[in-house]
Structure 1
Amino acid sequence: MSSRSERRGSEFRDRAVGLGAALLIGLNLRPAITSVAALLEPTRAAFDLAPVQLNLLATLPVIAFGISAPVGPLLARRLGVTRALIWTMVALAGSLALRVVVPGGMLPGTFLAGVSIMAAGTLLPQYLKSLRAGGLWIGLSSMSFSAGAALGAGLAVPLSTAVGGPAVALGLWAVPALTAAGAMVGVALRSEAPPPPSSRMALPRSARPTVALITAMFGLQAMLFFAVASWLPRILGDRGVDAQTAGWLLALTSVAGLVPTLVAPILARRRRVLRLFGPGLGIVMLAAFVWLASGDESYIAITVVLGAVQSATFGLSLALIVMLAADEASAGLLSAIAQGVGYAFAGAGSLLVGVLHDLTGGWTASLVFMIVCAAALALVVGFVIRCRPVDLQAPSEVPALPRA
């Protein structure tokens, strides 16, 4: 009896350490983006970036997300999920150092940071599925994304002031990435890593509508999130808000989302609540963009509403990827497709927001585009929550019996 209880205690501790490491990884998947958004103008001056390069810098991580979608599943098949997560964090730390240490490394380093973040982001749902994480832990994992985004935006300007410029302030984010890599090494040492999946993955015809809907949902919410993360400080700056206040308001969007992103995956388990809650997020987001476009200067209230609904929608998206995958391997492929194609759309959409501003000389057209996307998001979520789990593993081939 005692040996059984000791074994259960050991399994509980290993699982708790594994889930804790997942939270550390989540903390690292947004600061590389939000810290640059809060320091966009100082970064342009410090690295002598042209206007086209500045627009590219703001959207390059999201473009990298779409291009590098297969990286996570490929690493998982070769190394296993745990070891793959270790290497993504090491690569993230290296890319963050590259963009501020090597001359001309800002854009290449930012692209590589996006690849690393994308790989880790697609692996996390598969990792959480392997740990049998419930709604609470999925919520905590998605909440760590918001916490990291808040830290990146909120600390960017004070760090830059303290260390004498944006270069060192941006490079310091390599330290928490290495910390997350160390935590995952601890997970690998504590428990025997499961072997990489050997079954071939497939996309059966019956699963395609569900995969397409989840992808559309993830892409729309990601585009709207990154449009805000990339351009909100500049929108506010054009309205006379100083850089430090704009950075603080961007951080507030993430702080406001901490509790909603935790609660959303828990509510996702309640079907009756989800039918109203899911589409309602898109409707409230639409109203927040209309509010911002109206010219009202209630920026604290606007950013709180935007942050709350955007983070809740991300938490819901992550929960639905885990819930609508029949098994761990399917979660990995579903995550890669939804995030890969979704982020490709998000990168193009976020870039379009900047291009519309440059073409029109104002933010009205950009905000109208975001309003339309929020309406589409509400509609798509209404369909997604009616989907059933999908199995994306190809059935094993049974050898034919020899003829007599």
Structure 2
Amino acid sequence: MEEQRRGGSGNSGRAFRVLVLLALVLVSVNLRPAITTIAGVMNQVPGAFQLDPVLLPVLGTLPVLAFGVSGPIGPWLARRLGTGPAVALALLVLAAALIVRVLVPALLLPGTFLAGMAIMTASVLVPQIVKANHGSGWWTGLCTMGFGLGAALGAGLVQPLAEAFGGSLAWALAVWAVPALLGACLIQRSGRRPTAAGTPAGKAGSAAGAVSSPQQVAPLRKQRTAWAVTAFFGLQAMLYFAITSWLAVYLVSKGLSSADAAALLAWFSLAGLPASLLAPVLAGRPAILRIMAPGLGLAVALALLGVLAAPAGLQFVMVGILGIVQSAGFGLAMALVVIRSSGPQTAGKLSAMSQGLGFALASLGPLVAGLLHTWTGGWEVTFWALAAEAVILAGAGFLAIRGPVVNVEPVGLLPEPQRRNADDETRPAVVGL
């Protein structure tokens, strides 16, 4: 009877983890369409919503700026509600923002900012839920692939949805509130059940294996690996948002139609889906990670220059290559938050720091790219500047994998396996997912 109870408990735990993973993937799918739907029809926005064209760079920058200022909200809500309910609340706010910003034209800019805050609140908690559930590299990979899938669907379906709604661009953008509501329903209970040896998700690492005299650790802001991970996340995000905000506009300047440019923007995300899935898995292998972390930055730089140099007929190939290496960089950035943290609480705080400060940096991407294009009247300077940034990204990746594991949880309060990871504060080896 005891064995049967244990077997039943194990099956229940596995079923719960599968549900959590499915919920995380659905959440991830919802965290990009609010941005890429607008990016895919940027040239149509002024006419559809009576927006001054001068404000288009601001519209592209607002979501990322919201990411930068709302990083602490996620961990704060998780401490009070639990991670699952906190993510669910963020998705409900996202759904409301998606509807309000297009049905009330005067609220397009404020609604976009609110949508960005909701996205950030949910996004920073994804690595914490992965870490608390002992998720593997496949967990992180599926979540990052969900980000890419959502981005691709948002860009690729906006024009067909507008046609399906009788030419209404507003409804084509607002319809994305429906999957956000579905994601909220599925995720809202995932933070309520114990995830590690009877420890609640929000308090994992505070009970199992505890000792009476926990060792104190340095604050996150004083740990160099945390800053390297933050720099890597911010630089790759800056590149991503600059590209997604202006790629379609650039392609139109090369002679493509608006529909073809939007399709290529969707292709940019679709082409990267396998890379976003596999990058976190491969990152769990230290030998590969040592090459991947700096190598991806150099690959992005070359791909950007390829898009700049290629004629319109080759843009399908070059945009696809850029999508692959850019998505791999995002997958690695998410994986580093999990790999380089000692426990769930550390993962949550490192996620908030890397995404909060990282997206604050990334908010400059669409704005600077747009201003460089406006000032120079062309795209050469913009693409060369982005390529130079990608080289700096390579340096950040090199540093992110060389420092000690990030830890803000007193070592004595960590479960035994996590304590072994955090004990050696000078060890530069990479901890697998």
Give the superposition deviation at 1:394.
Answer: 5.7
Instruction: Return the alpha-carbon distance in structure 2 between the equivalents of residues 44 and 378 of structure 1.
Output: 37
Give the superposition deviation at 1:234.
Answer: 0.3
Give the structure 2 partner of residue 59 of structure 1: 61
Instruction: Return the alpha-carbon distance in structure 1 between the equivalents of residues 305 and 86 of structure 2.
Output: 42
Instruction: Return the alpha-carbon distance in structure 2 between the equivalents of residues 215 and 133 of structure 1.
Output: 21
Asked if the contact 2:149/2:269 (under 8 Å) is kept, the reply is: yes
With over 3 angstroms needed to count, the CA separation of the structure-2 counterparts of 1:296 and 1:216, relative to structure 1, is: same
Give the structure 1 partner of residue 323 of structure 2: 307
Which has the larger displacement, 202-211 or 131-140? 202-211
Asked if the contact 1:89/1:177 (under 8 Å) is kept, the reply is: yes
User: Under a length normalisation based on structure 2, what TM-score does the superposition of the two structures give?
Assistant: 0.87
Instruction: Return the alpha-carbon distance in structure 1 between the equivalents of residues 327 and 139 of structure 2.
Output: 15
| 2:346 corresponds to which of 296, 319, 330 | 330
With over 3 angstroms needed to count, the CA separation of the structure-2 counterparts of 1:209 and 1:188, relative to structure 1, is: closer
Does the alignment pair 1:226 with 2:241? Answer: yes
Instruction: Return the alpha-carbon distance in structure 1 between the equivalents of residues 342 and 191 of structure 2.
Output: 25
Gaps of 5+ in 2: 207-215, 414-433
Instruction: Return the alpha-carbon distance in structure 2 between the equivalents of residues 224 and 390 of structure 1.
Output: 25
What whole-Å deviation, never above 9, does each CA across 1:7-57 have from its counterpart, x for those lacking one?
Answer: 100010011101110000000010110010011122221111112321111
Helix, strand or coil: the match of 1:148? helix
How many residues align? The count is 396
Asked if the contact 1:207/1:391 (under 8 Å) is kept, the reply is: no
Asked if the contact 1:65/1:340 (under 8 Å) is kept, the reply is: yes
With over 3 angstroms needed to count, the CA separation of the structure-2 counterparts of 1:153 and 1:59, relative to structure 1, is: same
Asked if the contact 2:66/2:113 (under 8 Å) is kept, the reply is: yes
With over 3 angstroms needed to count, the CA separation of the structure-2 counterparts of 1:188 and 1:63, relative to structure 1, is: closer
Summarize the alignment of residues 81-230 of structure 1 with structure 2, pairs less than 5 Å apart: 81-163=83-165, 164-185=167-188, 187=190, 194=200, 196-197=202-203, 204=219, 208-230=223-245
Give the structure 2 partner of residue 74 of structure 1: 76
- The residue type paired with residue 147 of structure 2 is F
Asked if the contact 2:161/2:172 (under 8 Å) is kept, the reply is: yes
Does the alignment pair 1:17 with 2:23? Answer: no
Give the superposition deviation at 1:365.
Answer: 1.4
Cα RMSD after superposing both structures: 2.1
Instruction: Return the alpha-carbon distance in structure 1 between the equivalents of residues 368 and 17 of structure 2.
Output: 42
Does the alignment pair 1:349 with 2:352? Answer: no
Give the superposition deviation at 1:79.
Answer: 1.2
Does the alignment pair 1:277 with 2:292? Answer: yes
- The residue type paired with residue 126 of structure 1 is Q
- The residue type paired with residue 88 of structure 2 is I
- The residue type paired with residue 55 of structure 1 is P
User: Under a length normalisation based on structure 1, what TM-score does the superposition of the two structures give?
Assistant: 0.94
Which has the larger displacement, 52-61 or 240-249? 52-61
Instruction: Return the alpha-carbon distance in structure 2 between the equivalents of residues 386 and 189 of structure 1.
Output: 36
Gaps of 5+ in 1: 398-404
Instruction: Return the alpha-carbon distance in structure 2 between the equivalents of residues 145 and 247 of structure 1.
Output: 18
Asked if the contact 2:30/2:150 (under 8 Å) is kept, the reply is: yes
Does the alignment pair 1:319 with 2:335? Answer: yes
**What percentage of residue pairs aligned between the two structures are identical?**
42
Asked if the contact 1:207/1:390 (under 8 Å) is kept, the reply is: no
Give the structure 2 partner of residue 26 of structure 1: 28
Asked if the contact 1:93/1:177 (under 8 Å) is kept, the reply is: yes
Give the structure 1 partner of residue 304 of structure 2: 289
Instruction: Return the alpha-carbon distance in structure 2 between the equivalents of residues 205 and 385 of structure 1.
Output: 16
